[in-house]
Structure formats: C-alpha cells, structure tokens
Amino acid sequence: MQYFIGWDVGGWNCDSNPNSRDALVILDNHRKLVGVPWRGNLRATINQTDTSQAFIEALFQLCQSEYDSNQNRPVLLAIDIPLGFSQALINLLVNRKPVPMIEDYASNPYLYRYTEQFLFAGGLKPLSPIKDMIGSQATKGMHVLAKFAPDIYQCGIWSGDNRLFALEAYPSACKHSNSVKNLLKPFGFTKPGVTKLAKDIVEQVEAFNHADKYDALLCALIGWLQVNEPEKIMQPNKEALDIEGWIFVPSDAFI
C-alpha cells in the first residue's frame, strides 16, 4: 500500500449536522499527511463517481491533493462504521430462520456480528447499526464497498480491482493502545485519547480541529499498522465469517 485514507462516516444527509459528518485524512506510506484533512458530506462524490480510480481521485481532490493514477499506487481505505450485518440477521430477513434463543444483549446475534461479540469479550463496546441507530452511516459505508470494492480479498478486507482496498476500523479502541499513541506524537498530539470524551485533545493541532477529523486520522493509522506492522493489529480468527467482515483494532487496545 502507498496511501492510507481514514474515513469517519457521517449519515447520508449530514450536510448540516454540526456534530457528525464525513471526514477524510490521507497518509502516505511514511505516515506523512497528504493534503489537508477534510470534513463534509461524501454523498455527492459517491454518486458522481463510477470507478474506484475516479473515487480515489475525488477523495484526494477533497483533501486538496492529487492522486497520480498513472503510477497505479494501491490505496487502503479504513472506514469507521460497521461494514456488514450478522449471518443470523441475514438468515432472519431472507429465510425467516430464527436463532434458537436470545440471551444478553452483547451476545444477541441479530444485533452484533461475531467480530463485535469478540470485542465485547475484550472489554470494548462496539456499536450496533440496529441497536445504536447508525444504519444511515452503515449503509453508506456498505454502499461504497458494493460500488467500488465489492469482492472479499480476505476476511475483513475488500477490493475489486487491486487498486482500492477497504477495511473496517474502530478508532474508539485506540484510547487504550500505546502503539497508536506513539504514532500520534509526530502529528503534535501530546496527550492522545478519545476525542468524543476529551475535546481538548483535538484542540492541540489545528489541522484536526474536529473530532471527526481526529477519528479519521486514527482510522488511517490503523490501516497503516495493518499493512506495515500487522502483528500489532488483532487479526481475524477461525471463527470469523467472511460475509460479516472483521473490525481491525490494535492488539493492545483490549482492556
């Protein structure tokens, strides 16, 4: 991979939402910032581009940079939103096939995929697109996958033409990760943590003056770790289902 794009996803109609919009951060393979972080609504960009190359070029333009398509440099898009639904929910909707029993909420297979239940077991608290009402953002992320990276490259990673790759990142988990905190220092963050809970963190660096941009940076760093230091990322285990995907988090993020 030559470029890593972090995408913190807003709803389909987030144009006027002061708290949550789409945000993009692009890093090169040396973790240098490419262009400037961007925040807005990607809906028009998604609608107006028909190929992964055109989509990548548009993302670079939004960040006031340019992607040289002639060099065919692969890009990894790390997305902060659920990129799939559980097999149990799919069976319920498509085949009217229920599971035998529902127990506590964290193990409810309609609400949480295996990868999310795995994170719960590690002390983390991932969101459900159904229970936590983030269906707009989830369908937006899955729409981009279907349009530009529809094929399963490996569990949790999608592609289509080997130019654009995509995975699901979980920036909130990074507050417990020393490996990510160390990667944040060159950007000027002296006390990194979770932006949603510590507003003063994003005020340290002007380029990341909103929590959405900071989360996009965390996504890009998770993508960089997955490619360059995969031993520091929790990898899919044998229980993970390709159709459900996988949430990539730093291995030292577990409580």
DSSP letters spanning 221-255:
HHHHHHHH-GGGBPPP-TT--TTT--EE-BGGG--
Is 91 within a domain? no
Distance CA 104, CA 83 (A): 23
Cα 213 vs. chain centroid, distance in angstroms?
Answer: 12
- What's the predicted TM-score (pTM) here? 0.94
- pLDDT, one tens digit per residue, over 197-247 is 345 556 667 788 898 999 999 999 999 999 999 999 999 999 999 999 999
Distance CA 143, CA 145 (A): 5
Is 11 within a domain? yes
Is 100 within a domain? no
CA distances in angstroms from 227 to 129, 135, 231, listed in the order given? 27, 29, 10
Number of domains the chain contains? 1
Distance CA 225, CA 233 (A): 7
Is 69 within a domain? yes
What residues contact residue 80 under an 8 Å CB cut-off, 6+ apart? Answer: 6, 7, 8, 9, 168, 169, 170, 171, 215, 216, 218, 219
Is 94 within a domain? no
- Which amino acid is residue 5, in one-letter code? I
Q: Which two tokens stand for residue 81?
A: 């939103």
> Stretch 125-146: mean pLDDT, rounded?
96
> Stretch 117-127: mean pLDDT, rounded?
95
Distance CA 223, CA 99 (A): 34
Residue range of the domain that includes 66: 3-85+113-253
Q: Are strands 164-169 and 247-248 parallel, antiparallel or unpaired?
A: parallel
Q: Which two tokens stand for residue 33?
A: 């910032």
Instruction: Answer whether 78's CB lies under 8 Å from 5's CB.
Output: yes
> Stretch 104-111: mean pLDDT, rounded?
94
What residues contact residue 109 under an 8 Å CB cut-off, 6+ apart? Answer: 86, 87, 88, 89, 99, 117
Q: Rounded to 5 degrees, what are φ and ψ at 226?
A: -60, -35
Average pLDDT value for the chain? 92
Q: Which single residue is written with the structure tokens 């990894």?
A: 76
Q: Give 94's DSSP letter.
A: H
Q: Tell me, what's the pLDDT at 47? A: 98
Q: Tell me, what's the pLDDT at 195? A: 45
Is 103 within a domain? no
Is 98 within a domain? no
Q: Tell me, what's the pLDDT at 209? A: 85
Instruction: Answer whether 177's CB lies under 8 Å from 250's CB.
Output: yes
Is 213 within a domain? yes
Cα 74 vs. chain centroid, distance in angstroms?
Answer: 17
